[in-house]
A and B are shown apart, each in its own frame.
Chain A
Amino acid sequence: MDNDRWLWTLGQEMARHQLAPDAVRHVVAEAAAHLRDSGQPALRAFGTPEGYAAAVAESLAARYGRPARPAPGRVRLSARGITKRYRRRTILRSVDLTVRAGEVAAVVGANGAGKSTFLRICAGLLAPDSGEVTLDGRLGYCPQDAGTYDFLLPDEQFVLIGAGRGLDRERSKQIGRAGAASLQWRPAAGVQTRHLSGGTRQKLNLVMASMGEPDVLLLDEPYQGFDRGTYLDFWQHVWRWRDEGRAVVVVTHLLSQLDQVDQVLDLTPASEGAAA
């Protein structure tokens, strides 16, 4: 990685830590001056851009001691005693989950533990055998796959979803494109959805789910196929949605973010959980 590339990546990484643009500019300029003065390669002088950005963020106390969050608000999603069977197999057994405005809940569990089934029930796409879901507010749902239309352009999908949210065409495209840009994606003109990579289709899915300021976001592993940078961007979105007072439910099997969420719903069956 040459120094220019390193400095560019540093800027990107610091933005991900939500540092002010001014601070980013100054830190990059100072590092550039140091590299010119010392004649050293950036990797040697500063380490990886990711590591240096994290050290800077910590020094500026942007991430640690983040501003106090508003207290969680009213209950936005309440699932009580959700039970679901497929034939004779019980997938979900009396599962409860309550998520308030301004909270993030993670749903974890092994493959086949019923994570996606639970989310589909919460979204109202699937009926439980027993139990009840109460949802207060507007819903955004991002399925694990599907959810996009193969023969539509990304812009057309933004318009379609926007229409359902009461947004006009231009506003829909504007919001959709801004959402895409925030995930490092600039939709190319005239490229139908079926020609997008799996990761990009998931970005499209995620952008559509978050259009129209939903109060409740149900996200089913929406980051599959994302590269590392976009994955970090995704989690920044999650924290922002939370700070904006939305209730967010994320299905995940990755544990690295679990210490930051408000609650974890583990759907691993009790017997398996004990054995693990």
Chain B
Amino acid sequence: MAALPRYLCHLDSCATFSRVDQERRGQWLRGVLDVCVMALLGRRESYGYELAQALDEAGFGQIQGGTLYPVLLRLQRTGLIAAEWREGGSGPARKYYRLTEDGKQAVARLSADWSVFAGHVDAVIRR
């Protein structure tokens, strides 16, 4: 996982993006968004909007709800995360997600896979 923010921060530092670049970023994001969400939930349980903010702070930019929630639903359906509705103190009820045991194993495996994959890309690009 460590390698991920660096690449995306690097992309963010480009002054302007062409449409093609943005599409490519979108494609990359689709490939790793579920892993990033699981990694964040591995640190602490959270709800959708808070996850979107955390991803924004990590340099992904604003992830829209229409992108994020379907990923959460899919992870929940496959048992990698679990959800629970909880009343907020003053605010509305929120759906909190947490990583399951299966999810923890999946994150460990996927983050190792990602490091290997990113290493290959890096090696080719920088040669």
Question: Taking the complex as formed, is A29 at the interface, i.e. its CB lies under 8 A from any CB of chain B?
Answer: yes
Evaluate whether A56 and B49 lie within 8 angstroms (CB atoms) in the complex, with A26-B95, A29-B93, A33-B94 already known: no
Contact B91–A27 (Cβ < 8 Å): no
Question: Taking the complex as formed, is B4 at the interface, i.e. its CB lies under 8 A from any CB of chain A?
Answer: no
When A and B form their complex, what is the total count of cross-chain residue pairs whose Cβ atoms lie within 8 Å?
A: 61
Question: Taking the complex as formed, is B42 at the interface, i.e. its CB lies under 8 A from any CB of chain A?
Answer: no
Question: Taking the complex as formed, is A178 at the interface, i.e. its CB lies under 8 A from any CB of chain B?
Answer: no
How far apart are the CA atoms of A33 and B88 in the complex, in Å?
A: 11
Scan A95-107; emit 1 where CB is below 8 A from any B CB, else 0: 0000000000000
Measured between beta carbons, the chain B residues less than 8 angstroms from A129 are none
Question: Taking the complex as formed, is A31 at the interface, i.e. its CB lies under 8 A from any CB of chain B?
Answer: yes
Measured between beta carbons, the chain A residues less than 8 angstroms from B69 are 27, 30-31, 34, 46, 56
Find the A residue at minimum CB distance from B64. Answer: A45
Measured between beta carbons, the chain B residues less than 8 angstroms from A137 are none
Interface residues of A: mostly helix, strand, loop or mixed? helix
Contact B95–A31 (Cβ < 8 Å): no
Interface of chain A residues 33 through 48 with chain B (CB within 8 A): 33-38, 40, 44-47
Contact A32–B92 (Cβ < 8 Å): yes
Residues of chain A at interface, number, CB under 8 A: 25
How far apart are the CA atoms of A274 and B19 in the complex, in Å?
A: 42
Contact A55–B70 (Cβ < 8 Å): yes
Contact B77–A61 (Cβ < 8 Å): yes
Measured between beta carbons, the chain A residues less than 8 angstroms from B114 are none
Contact A38–B47 (Cβ < 8 Å): no
Question: Taking the complex as formed, is B65 at the interface, i.e. its CB lies under 8 A from any CB of chain A?
Answer: yes
* Closest chain A CB from B47 CB (angstroms): 7
Evaluate whether A38 and B73 lie within 8 angstroms (CB atoms) in the complex, with A26-B95, A46-B64 already known: no
* Closest chain B CB from A30 CB (angstroms): 5
Question: Taking the complex as formed, is A51 at the interface, i.e. its CB lies under 8 A from any CB of chain B?
Answer: yes
Question: Taking the complex as formed, is A181 at the interface, i.e. its CB lies under 8 A from any CB of chain B?
Answer: no
How far apart are the CA atoms of A30 and B93 in the complex, in Å?
A: 9
Contact A47–B49 (Cβ < 8 Å): no
How far apart are the CA atoms of A31 and B92 in the complex, in Å?
A: 12
Contact A55–B66 (Cβ < 8 Å): yes
Contact of B47 among A32, A33, A45, A52 (CB under 8 A): A33
Contact A33–B92 (Cβ < 8 Å): yes
Question: Taking the complex as formed, is B24 at the interface, i.e. its CB lies under 8 A from any CB of chain A?
Answer: no
Measured between beta carbons, the chain B residues less than 8 angstroms from A60 are 73, 77
Measured between beta carbons, the chain B residues less than 8 angstroms from A58 are 70
Identify 9 residue pairs between A and B in the complex whose beta-carbon atoms are under 8 Å apart, listed by A's number.
A34-B65, A37-B91, A38-B65, A45-B65, A46-B69, A51-B66, A56-B69, A56-B70, A59-B73
* A residues at B contact (CB < 8 Å): 26-27, 29-38, 40, 44-47, 51-52, 55-56, 58-61
